Amino acid sequence: MGTGDLFVAMNDLKSLEVGMLEQLKALQQVALEALNSAETEEALQVWRATHLGRNSPLMQVFAALGKLPKEERPAVGQEANRVKAALEAAFEARREAIQAAALTRSLEQERVDVTLPGRRARMGRLHPSTQQLRLVLDILKEMGFQVFLSREVETDEFNFQLLNFPPHHPAREMQDSFYIETEGRSENPVLLRTHTSPGQIHAMRYFSSLNPENPPPIRIALPGMCFRYEQVTARSEMQFNQVEGLAVGEGITFSDLKGTLTDFARRMFGQDVRTRFRPDHFPFTEPSAEMDVECFVCGGQGCSVCKRSGWLEILGCGMVHPIVLQNGGYDPRRYSGFAWGMGPERQLMLRYKIDDIRYFWGNDLRFLEQF
């Protein structure tokens, strides 16, 4: 190549460099004009894809840098980066302006009238079973009973054996249980308690430990949830609240039991409430009875809730069995006592003439919001 040919080639390369620089300036001007006409967030995204996207003319310039001579790549590359940075800065500024304009329009068109009263927050409320449970405990506290809590997960020993339920005793069939699989506890398995009566043993052992030679008298109420593996019907559930009552002292008789429960029923249902006691059998009390209240759902005429009898059982009761007293640390030759177990949901059904106990755990707001 001669000197003249080299001069022509250098001029061609110089013109190529100048051409790409002019092209970049033109791309920037066109892009900025298009950006100024964008008025919405959607238009901005379209602009960004067109002028800064992978297939945009600006990105094509970056792709073509490798075809330029080494001497010209820095100038074109610097200009391309400057244009890209300028467009990105202009894009952000335009987006902020559009957002600010949208906020201004929203404040003008959707202005809040601060003189209007605010919307009152919806407050939660206690479950009807909890309300009834508290009412029962309030009445018992007025009658001199102290609340004593016990655990819901028990051993077979406390749930049955210490309450005069020996293993394989037929009375256990009345309380089908939810047992928990545990290794090495075949003689004393763990289960969800079927009644609150195990609390009697815990309470008596606690109070007798305070003075083993002369244990103090007891008058307590033990509330809590119980679980039984049985058929769910209009009057029975597989889980339910129960309140255990226990009184232990010297000279306590069945008359004290009957008077206490009759007074409780009058405080709960009114002074004119009709009650009755029927003989029954419970392994942990002797003698034993069931207490019924006239069915308020049908007015004593008979319905599905009261099994067409006109009466609804609200609790089982009796004099504490001497073996149970002894297992609790009280000498049955000196002490006697009475106990009962009542269901707050049954009482709530009587108070409000509810015909199906399953409503309490169905979580239907149409039912729960009535209380």
- Report pLDDT for 8: 33
DSSP per-residue letters across 108-123: HHS---TTSPPPPPPP
Residues 6 or more apart whose Cβ sits within 8 Å of residue 305: 234, 235, 295, 297, 298, 312, 349, 355, 356
pLDDT band at 201 (very low <50, low <70, confident <90, very high): very high
Parse the chain into domains and list their residue ranges: 3-109, 128-368
Q: Does domain 128-368 have CATH number 3.30.930.10?
A: yes
Please name the amino acid found at residue 116. Answer: L
User: What average pLDDT does range 45-70 have in this prediction?
Assistant: 82
Other CB atoms within a 10 A radius of the CB of residue 184 amount to: 6
User: Are the CB atoms for 67 and 16 separated by under 8 Å?
Assistant: no
Identify which of 199, 219, 209, 243 has the alpha carbon closest to the alpha carbon of residue 347.
Answer: 243
Residue 9 has pLDDT above 50, yes or no: no
User: What average pLDDT does range 42-68 have in this prediction?
Assistant: 83
Q: For 74-85, write each residue's pLDDT tens digit.
A: 888 888 888 888
pLDDT band at 49 (very low <50, low <70, confident <90, very high): confident
CA atoms of 121 and 283, how far apart (whole Å): 52
Residue 11 has pLDDT above 60, yes or no: no
% of the chain residues with pLDDT over 90: 36
Q: For 105-139, write each residue's pLDDT tens digit.
A: 887 777 767 787 878 887 888 899 999 999 999 99
Q: For 285-341, write each residue's pLDDT tens digit.
A: 999 999 998 877 777 788 876 778 888 888 999 999 999 999 999 999 999 999 999
Q: For 272-286, write each residue's pLDDT tens digit.
A: 888 999 999 899 999
Residue 235 has pLDDT above 80, yes or no: no
